[in-house]
A = this chain, B = another copy of it.
Amino acid sequence: MRILVVNVNTTESITRSIGEQAATVASPGTEIVPLTPSFGAASVEGNYESYLAAIAVMEAVRGYPEPFDAIIQAGYGEHGREGLQELFDVPVVDITEAAASTAQFLGRTYSVVTSLDRTVPLIEDRLRLAGLSARCASVRASGLAVLDLERDPAAAVDAIAEQAARAVRDDRAEVICLGCGGMSGLAERVVHRTGVPVVDGVTAAVTIAESLVRLGLTTSKVRTYAPPRPKVMTNWPPAGVRTGQRVPA
C-alpha cells in the first residue's frame, strides 16, 4: 500500500525527517511517500499560515500523479483535514488526532507539548472539533519555534521534557503527545526523561492509516465529506501550482 505523508511546511528537510520517521514503523509492503506543498510558509505557526497550508496540502495531494491508499496530514493543530476528506475517498489521518486517539488507549489523560504558545489555541480547537478534548489534560508550549526544533534537537528535548514533566505533575497527564511534526524522532529521549508513554503523531498516524486500509474502510461520503459539487472555479488553481487533477464532480 502507498501512504502519502504531507508536510504542512514548505521546508524540505522537515518533509524528509517526517518521511524517515514514518518509515520506521511502516509495515513491509507499505510505501511512504513524503510530500512538500508547493506554496506556503517555511514553517506553519498560526492561523494565516495554517489556512494557506490547508489549501497547499490539498493541491499537493491532487497533483500527485500515482494512485495511493491513504493520506496523512503531518501538521499538528492545522486546518484542512475536512477538505482532504471531501476531495478523496481514501482514509485521511491528521497527526493531531492520531496522537490523541493513540494516547487514549494508554492512559486516562494525555497532554500535548507543542512549539510556540501561539499554536496552543489551534491545537485545542482541533481536538475539540475532533471530539478528543475530554481526556486532554493540557496543551503546553515548549517555547521553541518549529525551525528551532529542527536546528537543535538536544535543546528541543530539554524544553519538551520540562513541559512534559509539569503536565504529568500539575495537569495530571498520564501520556504525552509530541505536538509538532518537527518533533518526530524525539519521542524516545522524552520517554527517558518523563517515565510516561510518549506518542509521536507521525508514527501513530502511519499505523492508523495502515489499519484503516487493512480493514477496508474509507471515508464516509454520506454528508459532511461528500465530494464537492461541480462548480465554476475562478482563477484556481493558479498557474504554476503543481497540480493536475480536477475537483471531482
Contact = CB atoms under 8 A, between A and B. Distances in A.
A52 B106 contact: no
A49 B215 contact: no
Contact of A129 (B125, B207, B236): B125
Nearest to A42: B232
Interface string A143-179: 0010000000000000000000000100010110000
A221 B214 CA distance: 31
Interface size class of A (residues with CB under 8 A): 35 or more
Interface of A: 10, 25, 27, 38-43, 45-52, 54-55, 58, 79-80, 82-83, 85-87, 91-93, 97, 101-102, 104-108, 117-118, 120-121, 125, 128-135, 145, 168, 172, 174-175, 195-197, 199, 203-204, 207-208, 210-212, 214-215, 217-220, 222-226, 228-229, 231-236, 238-241, 247
